[in-house]
Amino acid sequence: MAVALALPTAAHAQTAANDPSGVIDCGPVQPAELCVDFDASRSVDPGAGPLEYRWNMGDGTTLTGLTITHCYKVRAHYTVTLDVAVPATSEVRRAERTFDVDLTRKPVLNFSVGPTLKARVGQPVVFDALDSVLPECQSVVVVWDFRDGYTQQGRHVEHSFRKAGRFAVRMSLRGYGPGACSASNCVSQEVVVEP
């Protein structure tokens, strides 16, 4: 029997030499994806008749079903096991498959804007990188480009816009070493500044 496992993936920003900020196409925020899809539909044994699928999710949760989705509460490393039962014979094929689910290795690019995504000229706006991380990197610098000519570094910063408009604020995570570390990742959210 074969079991297919689908894990969420995180997008990375592209880089371009003609963009002075070093990044283009910053996508929307990418919070920690703790939900994982499992699909055992390729686990078939025509001679055994109907099968039951029992999943131990590695966090104390057990689920049943051919295809399941499980959302973890904590970014951690989990071992998921699948037992397949044959009701006709009461046979249980224990640990038919095991899966290594390491949610700690996925990049997270997420930030909050406060108190809201709307502000007035001169009003301080707080930007927080929350749980953003590039786990493959030894060190990470958070760079904010407010798209009004000003930039700032730090996980938690405050900025006041000096003119009205719509600003697609970019948060970039710049990672340094080792080789598996992505050089730069970015996301953006639009802030509306009213007079």
Residue spans per domain, the chain: 35-105, 106-194
**Best CA proximity match to 48, nearest among 100, 84, 4, 94:** 84
Indicate yes or no: pTM above 0.75.
no
CA distance 42 to 99: 15
Query: Domain spanning 35-105: which CATH class is it, in words?
Result: mainly beta
| CATH topology identical between 35-105 and 106-194 | yes
Mean pLDDT by 10 residues, the chain (195 residues): 37 33 66 86 74 93 94 90 88 81 86 95 96 90 96 97 97 87 86 97
Torsion of Cα atoms, 106 then 178 then 139 then 59, to 10°: 30
Helix and strand totals (H; E) in the chain: 0, 15
Q: Superfamily assignment of 106-194 in CATH? A: Immunoglobulins (2.60.40.10)
Q: How far apart are CA 191 and CA 10, in angstroms?
A: 23
Task: Quote the pLDDT of residue 25.
Answer: 62
